[in-house]
A = this chain, B = another copy of it.
Amino acid sequence: MTPRNADLIKQIHDWISLHRDEGIAFLQELVRIPSIQGNETEVQLLVADKLRSLALDVDMWEPDGEMLVTHPYFCSPRNRFTGSPNVVGFLKGSGGGRSIILNGHIDVVPEGNREMWGDDPYSGHVVDGKLYGRGATDMKGGNVSLLLALEAIQRLGLKLKGDVIFESVIEEESGGAGTLAAIVKGYRADAALIPEPTNMRIFPKQQGSMWFRIEVKGRSAHGGTRYEGVSAIEKSMTVIQHIRELEELRNARVTDPLYANNPIPIPINIGVIQGGNWPSSVADTVNLEGRMGVAPEEKLEEAKAEMSRWMAGLRDKDPWFEAHPPGVTWFGAQWVPGCVDPEHALMQVLIQQYREVKQVEPVIEASPWGTDGGLLTVVGETPCIIFGPGITGVAHYPNEHIEIERVFEVAEIITLTVIHWCELDETEA
C-alpha cells in the first residue's frame, strides 16, 4: 500500500510532534558539550551512538593531517586532528534512487567573553520556545533536524532507493578540513544539503571568502617633527579607501537576482587595523586584516588576482606606493564559494516540500557567507544547497539561541525532501 503524499506528510508530522521532547533533550545534550576546535570527541561519540541506534553504518575517524595538508583546498590553522574525529552514518538504499549527503558541522566557535552572556554559554536552557547556548543555531539545531529526519524515516519503516550519507564534521569554522577529509575519503552523492542557520531561507548559491593581510609602510620620525616622517596610518587610509572602491567595482558586476535584497553581495571587510607603537612617533607600519567575499560563480584564485592587480593601482593615487607597495598575503581561513543552478532537481524537491509543510513560498537567496557547501559542490562534485532552522544574526554572538519550532519544521521538510529525492522503495509495502 502506497501512502499518498498527504498521508506521508501527516505521518511524518505526527511522528516528529510525538518526539519533540526527545529532540529537545538531544539538542540540549549536544549544546552542553563545548565542542570547540580540538574538543570534538565527546560530542561525536554521542552522535555516533545516535546513528548506530538508528541502524546506520558508522564511520568515525580522525582526519590524517599529514595527507590533507597536501590538498590544494586544505585550509586549517592545524595539521593534526587528534581529538577531532569526523563521524559519517551511512544508510544504504535498495538501489535505483538518487543519493544525498546531509552534512552538518559539529564544531562551534568559542563562547568569547562570558560576561556578555545572560546565562552559562553552554546551558542548553529553554526559555520562551528558544534553546540557548553556543552552537544552538550554528549549527547543532540544524544537525538535530537532520537526525530527526533520519529517525523518522527509520522508525516509520520507510525504505529508500537512494543512499543517505549523514556527515557530522569538524572544522567548518576554520576552513572546512572536516568536510574535505570526508570528500577525500570518497563520500560523494548526487546532491547535498547543509542546514546552516539561514533563517529558513534556501541558498542555492553561496559566497566564498578569504582572509587577507596588508602591510602598509611609512617612515618613522618623532611626532614633534612628524613632517620628517611618513605616517603609515595616513597611508592606510588611502589603502582602505582604495579597497572600498574595489568592493564597489566588484559588487557592481553582481546582477544575480538572488542577491537583489543584499546591499553589498560580496563585501570586502577590513576587520582589524594595527599600527605604530608610540604616541609620539610617526607610525612606520600598519597591518590591516580583512575578509574578501568571493562570488558564487568566481574562483578563489581569480579574486586573489583581481585584488593584486587593484593594489598595484595604488601607485597612481600616491607615488609613495610606487616605492612602498603594500604587500597582500592570504592567511587563515578560506571558504570556497558554491553555486547550484536554482532550477536543480534538489531545489525543486526542497521548494515543493517547503510549500507543503509551511504553506508559504520559501525565500530563495544567495548566502552572504561561505559554508562547507562550496567544498562539497566544487571539490566533492556534489551540488549542495544550504537551508536550515538557525537564526543567522545570532551565530557567533553571545546569547546564541534557536527557535525550537524551526528545528521541527526543518526536520519535517528535510524528511520529505530526502524521501522524494531518494525515492521510496515500495516493493515491501
Could you tell me how many residues of chain A have their Cβ less than 8 Å away from some Cβ of chain B? 53
Is A38 interfacial (CB-CB < 8 Å)?
no
B280 to A209, Cβ gap below 8 A? yes
A269 to B282, Cβ gap below 8 A? yes
Bound CA span A275–B274, Å: 6
Is A286 interfacial (CB-CB < 8 Å)?
yes
With a CB–CB cut-off of 8 A, which chain B residues contact A279? 211-213, 269, 271-272, 289-291, 332
Interface residues of A in 340-373 (CB under 8 A from B): 367-370
A209 to B237, Cβ gap below 8 A? no
| Contact of A224 (CB < 8 Å), options: B276, B280, B369 | B369
Bound CA span A212–B279, Å: 8
Is A293 interfacial (CB-CB < 8 Å)?
yes
| Contact of A223 (CB < 8 Å), options: B209, B240, B392 | B209
| Contact of A272 (CB < 8 Å), options: B207, B278, B367, B368 | B278
| Contact of A274 (CB < 8 Å), options: B211, B228, B263, B274 | B274
With a CB–CB cut-off of 8 A, which chain B residues contact A368? 222, 224-225
Is A125 interfacial (CB-CB < 8 Å)?
no
User: A237 — nearest CB in chain B belongs to which residue?
Assistant: B237
B227 to A267, Cβ gap below 8 A? yes
With a CB–CB cut-off of 8 A, which chain B residues contact A273? 233, 236, 273-276, 283, 286
Is A277 interfacial (CB-CB < 8 Å)?
yes
Is A246 interfacial (CB-CB < 8 Å)?
no
With a CB–CB cut-off of 8 A, which chain B residues contact A233? 240, 270-271, 273
Is A328 interfacial (CB-CB < 8 Å)?
no
Is A231 interfacial (CB-CB < 8 Å)?
yes
Produce 1/0 per residue, A154-173, CB < 8 A to B: 00000000000000000000
Produce 1/0 per residue, A172-216, CB < 8 A to B: 000000000000000000000000000000000001010111000
Is A50 interfacial (CB-CB < 8 Å)?
no
Q: List 28 A-B contacts (CB under 8 A).
A: A212-B279, A222-B396, A223-B267, A223-B290, A224-B267, A224-B269, A224-B293, A225-B262, A226-B267, A227-B264, A227-B267, A233-B271, A269-B279, A270-B276, A271-B279, A271-B282, A271-B283, A272-B276, A272-B277, A272-B278, A272-B279, A272-B283, A273-B276, A273-B283, A274-B274, A276-B289, A280-B290, A280-B333
A→B interface (CB under 8 Å): 207, 209, 211-213, 222-228, 231, 233-234, 236-237, 240-241, 262-264, 267, 269-283, 286, 289-291, 293, 332-333, 367-370, 392-393, 395-396
Kindly list 11 other residue pairs between chains A and B, CB separation below 8 angstroms, not including A233-B271, A234-B240, A274-B275: A222-B369, A223-B290, A223-B291, A224-B291, A226-B269, A233-B270, A269-B282, A271-B277, A271-B283, A273-B273, A273-B274
